[in-house]
Structure 1
Amino acid sequence: MRTRVVIQSRLNSSRLPGKALLSLAGMPLVELVARRAANTGHEVVVATSDEQYDRRIAEHLESVGIDVVRGSLDDVLGRFVTATEGLDPTDRVVRLTGDNPVADGSLIDELLAAVDASPHDYGRVDIDRVPEGFGAEVFSARVLRAAAAEAVAPYDREHVTPWIRRTGEHLFVPEDAPTDLHAYRCTVDCLDDYDRVCGAFAGVTDPLRMPWRELVARIGERVLAEGPVLPRVAGVSPVMLGSSALPQDGAALRSLLTTAVTHGVSHALLDDATARARFRTGSDPALKQRMSVVARVVLPMDASPAALDVEVERILGDLARRVDTLLLDAGDDLDRAATALGRLASYVEAGAAVRLGLALPVGAHVTAELLARVGWLHVKDADKAARLAERVGSGAVVSCDLDAADTPAPAGVVGVVPAGTPADVLAAVERAAEGAHGTGTSTRPSA
């Protein structure tokens, strides 16, 4: 039985254009990925597009003796069929992507063995349980060809395996793989990732044969040397960024957000148009994708549906329609808040926001009916937040304002910190980690 590794790669990445040919460990990234995949003897072919600019990938790979095929930019499934011509139906195909240089032949071998021992024809590394950068899939040439014949949806054609996954799958977690998804992130999706992975390969005498476990450990060591990485409960970290201290300078803001994302901070609370503008112009697309937003919606004096819609559309426009929570601030008027939440529900139904939230004034009494309509509650006062958290349990996220980065939030409450520098972020993370773990350190648990 043959195994052929197919690596998809292109130059028009939206977040880091041209990354396939960025130099890493003395060679273009795509070449490093291909050579590491072949380091235990597997056949390897790179499948790139037939767009004019991707000839740069093809010409380089051909010049160094790596097989390459070209096909439709959007029909990646079709590219894989071309790349696997000549295989018998029972031969195996391994899918990798050209931005994951840590994966190697031994990781492929582990995945193959796990799928061979399972009843499934398809298996993959469980990317929900390991950091980004471990993505690898295996399936037979037969099932690949069946998918190509049956799959018609553009999503299925572009992403290769969704049609196959719907027939059943084996999920695999490599032994000793880190489960801290942030400290050990090892893909190359943005410039910060590129810097991190370059650091892991720096000084390595044999980058083609360096075991993946050692490379991943080097990545995590650099992150954890700065400070711990926060755990998350239902996708929310115990501390989040407030907008009052966000720096105006773009470089300073990018540094702050990079530190926050790398150390597990999940959300930023943006209070107004100024904060939204800074967040929009000061963070690159990859950072904004990894940092969720809670956007405060101040109820207009004219509380008509049209006025509220104008305010929400302005917020969504500022944030490129990427909002986790619409946090309604109606002041003391909870009757108007109830009416406005009914209007805002349409934005959740349309997918413009994940959930609704409510900012509460100190001393306000909130009915159980109103609480049941929101997934996030914010109050300024920490004691009030603690009592509210006890009342709602796991039914909603409860957050409160903190005066300084080193101020602790009550148990079960998310602290909103006024962080203006990476040092502020790390201080807040350190304090939150102590509360979450009873220690200021982060560990690398086994799977």
Structure 2
Amino acid sequence: MTATLLLQARTSSSRLPGKVLLPVGGMPLVVLAARRAGNTGHRVLVVTSHESSDDVLCDVLQNWSTDCFRGDLENTLKRFVDALEGVPDEHVVVRLTGDNVFPDGRFIDEMLEDFESRNVAYLCCGGESSGLPYGVSAEITRARFLREAHRNTDSSADREHVTPWVIRHYGRNTFDRYHARGMAQYRCTVDTLDDYLLVSKVFAGTGDPDYVPLEALLEKLKQATADIVTPVPAGRMVLGTAQFGLDYGIANREGRPGQDVVTSLVRTAISNGVEYLDTARAYGDSETVVGKALAGGWGSRVRVITKLSPLADCPADASPDVARAFAERSVYQSCHALGVSSLDVLMLHRASHQEAFGGAVWDALLGLQQRGVVGELGVSVQSPEEALAALEHESVCFIQLPFNILDYRWDEVVEKVAQVRRNRSVVVHARSALLQGLLTTDAEGLWRRARCANASEVGSWLRARAAEYTNGDVVELCLRFVFSQPWIDGVVVGVDTREQLVDNLIRSGAERWDDNELTSILRDRPRVSENTLDPATWETAND
């Protein structure tokens, strides 16, 4: 099949400026990407911008005898359409990017064969279903579909990302021939300095980098990536970071880890597919140490959820203007601590603040959202009643709630939450899957502090179910139970050590129990008091 390969590139990337000109395998990154993609004979055209910042790029391409087309910087879709001037509508177009050098001609030929045999309008490779690392990616469509998109869309996202309009109107089809490789948790794109160093290491000593088979590169990537510990991406695990800023958890004897440990834990979690970090203004130094851990481009690979200050220092009789000022101060303090200009997700730490001060706090957050300082808004709730009240607000996109294997309070609420989610996008994250570590301990004194009158019965039940379902591992029982809930999108799990992190990353990818198994696990579940389910009511060590 005849196709034109359009390789998108520019030098004005924000996280690693000029990355497409960095040397890999003895040549500029963009040149290597173009040569590998075209090594079975397809024409490759690097499409870049008219901006003066790309003059050097075009000079480099000319020196390396690589074809180049210059067009609109911001409207990448128009750039692609202009580059295709004169080709027939049915001509096949492959979209590639200059920071991904693993795709080679054979891989693209395999995709083209699949595209033709399935007779689809659009085919892509990427994501977990592909079985390939992030960076082994390509999109295939026809010239007429890109022209249709250009004529019919006013969306800036459509213009920037080229193919969303085509996907919406003609469907998304995925190339999954490599699904069995199971390498979706790996990464071989070049977006940060660490990415560049890794890719350079993979290509070092390969001889002729233009023609190294993709399979050989994948094996070298495995050998060069020591921090991948999961068989599947841990996308449903949310890394809790309260332990990074506080002495947190009833069973915690380790204390807070240092910055170097935090940085290693955060980056290992991200490398293994964790998509969210959870922190808060109230978690001591957590935001600051997390912000440092995400330096050097790591922040682009994960979304950070933080929570508004509990506003304990805001007078109870404060006017709406004063309350608004306290809320805005908290947001900007979080931005400063995390080292960002805007927050991905901001939650209320107290659900009552949605209505408090005449609604001034929530109004302040909505205003900050409109100004681009805050992305999505959510509420951290303590009870089913608070969750349902929060979801009445259409602007709430995230809910974080306490849930664990003993918590019966949510049984009657699940369907109501599901009904809301059928009408709009709401992400639900669960915390306290281990009830701050209580469920993992046999220490009678800790259970007494948690006001549990039937600790012996509860412990026996947990051990019996663990023996039946998880080879005696109570931690796995409790985590897997929550991970298996179909109404929960992510589970906040805190860690103190690398060993804990690795164990929990692997547990997050375990096969989910179905409804029948979940029902069986809960047979004769002992009832505990609501005080036991609410750590805020527990006795302190000094009580």
Q: Is 1:427 matched with 2:497?
A: no
The CA deviation at 1:98 is 0.6
Q: Is 1:399 matched with 2:431?
A: yes
Q: Is 1:417 matched with 2:494?
A: yes
Q: Is 1:289 matched with 2:291?
A: no
The CA deviation at 1:56 is 1.6
Q: 1:215 aligns with which of 191, 214, 217?
A: 217
The CA deviation at 1:42 is 0.6
Percentage of matched positions with identical amino acids: 29
Match of residue 269 from structure 2: 260
11-20 or 319-328, larger mean C-alpha shift: 319-328
Match of residue 271 from structure 1: 280
Cα distance in structure 2, aligned partners of 1:38 and 1:87:
19
Q: Are 1:47 and 1:79, in contact at CA under 8 Å, matched by a contact in 2?
A: yes
Superposed, 1:26-41 pairs within 5 Å as 26-41=26-41
Q: Are 1:325 and 1:376, in contact at CA under 8 Å, matched by a contact in 2?
A: no
- The structure carrying a bigger helix percent of its residues is 2
Cα distance in structure 2, aligned partners of 1:436 and 1:150:
41
Cα separation, partners in 2 of 1:152 and 1:389, compared to 1, 3 Å: closer
278-287 or 58-67, larger mean C-alpha shift: 278-287
Cα separation, partners in 2 of 1:108 and 1:397, compared to 1, 3 Å: same
Match of residue 314 from structure 1: 329
Superposed, 1:233-244 pairs within 5 Å as 235-237=235-237, 239-242=239-242, 243-244=244-245
Match of residue 326 from structure 1: 347
Cα distance in structure 2, aligned partners of 1:283 and 1:368:
31
* Greater gyration radius: 2
Cα separation, partners in 2 of 1:313 and 1:213, compared to 1, 3 Å: farther
Aligned residues: 421
Cα distance in structure 2, aligned partners of 1:412 and 1:144:
43
Cα distance in structure 1, aligned partners of 2:231 and 2:499:
9
Cα distance in structure 2, aligned partners of 1:230 and 1:93:
31
Unaligned runs of 5+ in 1: 331-335, 439-447
Cα distance in structure 2, aligned partners of 1:193 and 1:382:
37
Q: Are 1:241 and 1:268, in contact at CA under 8 Å, matched by a contact in 2?
A: yes
Counterpart secondary structure, 1:14: coil
Deviation sequence 1:122-152 (CA, Å, 0-9, x none):
3322546344313312222333334444444
The one-letter code sitting in structure 2 at the alignment partner of 1:316 is V
Cα distance in structure 1, aligned partners of 2:232 and 2:315:
41
The one-letter code sitting in structure 2 at the alignment partner of 1:22 is L
Q: Are 1:129 and 1:179, in contact at CA under 8 Å, matched by a contact in 2?
A: no
The CA deviation at 1:256 is 4.2
Q: Are 2:237 and 2:508, in contact at CA under 8 Å, matched by a contact in 1?
A: no
Q: Are 2:343 and 2:375, in contact at CA under 8 Å, matched by a contact in 1?
A: yes
Q: 1:186 aligns with which of 188, 191, 196?
A: 188
Match of residue 158 from structure 1: 160
| TM-score (structure 1 length as normaliser) | 0.78
The one-letter code sitting in structure 1 at the alignment partner of 2:123 is G
The CA deviation at 1:226 is 5.4
Superposed, 1:365-384 pairs within 5 Å as 369-370=388-389, 376-377=399-400
The one-letter code sitting in structure 1 at the alignment partner of 2:286 is A
Q: Is 1:357 matched with 2:379?
A: yes
Q: Are 1:183 and 1:262, in contact at CA under 8 Å, matched by a contact in 2?
A: yes
Match of residue 443 from structure 1: none
| TM-score (structure 2 length as normaliser) | 0.66
RMSD over equivalenced CA pairs, Å: 3.8
The CA deviation at 1:9 is 0.4
Counterpart secondary structure, 1:47: strand
Cα distance in structure 2, aligned partners of 1:212 and 1:393:
46
Cα separation, partners in 2 of 1:14 and 1:71, compared to 1, 3 Å: same
Q: Are 1:29 and 1:101, in contact at CA under 8 Å, matched by a contact in 2?
A: yes
The one-letter code sitting in structure 1 at the alignment partner of 2:87 is L
Cα separation, partners in 2 of 1:307 and 1:109, compared to 1, 3 Å: farther
Cα separation, partners in 2 of 1:383 and 1:42, compared to 1, 3 Å: closer
Q: Are 1:327 and 1:376, in contact at CA under 8 Å, matched by a contact in 2?
A: no
Deviation sequence 1:261-290 (CA, Å, 0-9, x none):
112333333232743344345523732233
Counterpart secondary structure, 2:482: coil
Q: Are 1:118 and 1:170, in contact at CA under 8 Å, matched by a contact in 2?
A: no
Deviation sequence 1:297-343 (CA, Å, 0-9, x none):
3144435554553344334333333233514147xxxxx45734976
Match of residue 50 from structure 2: 50
Q: Are 2:3 and 2:42, in contact at CA under 8 Å, matched by a contact in 1?
A: yes
Q: Are 1:192 and 1:258, in contact at CA under 8 Å, matched by a contact in 2?
A: no
Q: Are 2:236 and 2:508, in contact at CA under 8 Å, matched by a contact in 1?
A: no
Compare relative contact order (CA 8 Å, sep 6+) and give the higher one, 1 or 2: 1
Q: Are 2:227 and 2:271, in contact at CA under 8 Å, matched by a contact in 1?
A: no
Superposed, 1:128-139 pairs within 5 Å as 129-130=129-130, 131-139=133-141
Deviation sequence 1:46-73 (CA, Å, 0-9, x none):
1111222212211111112111121221
Cα distance in structure 2, aligned partners of 1:389 and 1:221:
45
Cα distance in structure 2, aligned partners of 1:150 and 1:16:
33
The one-letter code sitting in structure 2 at the alignment partner of 1:67 is D
Cα distance in structure 2, aligned partners of 1:101 and 1:368:
46
Counterpart secondary structure, 2:129: coil
Cα distance in structure 1, aligned partners of 2:223 and 2:361:
44
Match of residue 147 from structure 2: 145
16-25 or 191-200, larger mean C-alpha shift: 191-200
Cα distance in structure 2, aligned partners of 1:158 and 1:222:
33
Cα separation, partners in 2 of 1:102 and 1:236, compared to 1, 3 Å: same
Q: Are 2:115 and 2:122, in contact at CA under 8 Å, matched by a contact in 1?
A: yes
Match of residue 25 from structure 2: 25
Cα separation, partners in 2 of 1:109 and 1:432, compared to 1, 3 Å: closer
Counterpart secondary structure, 1:187: coil
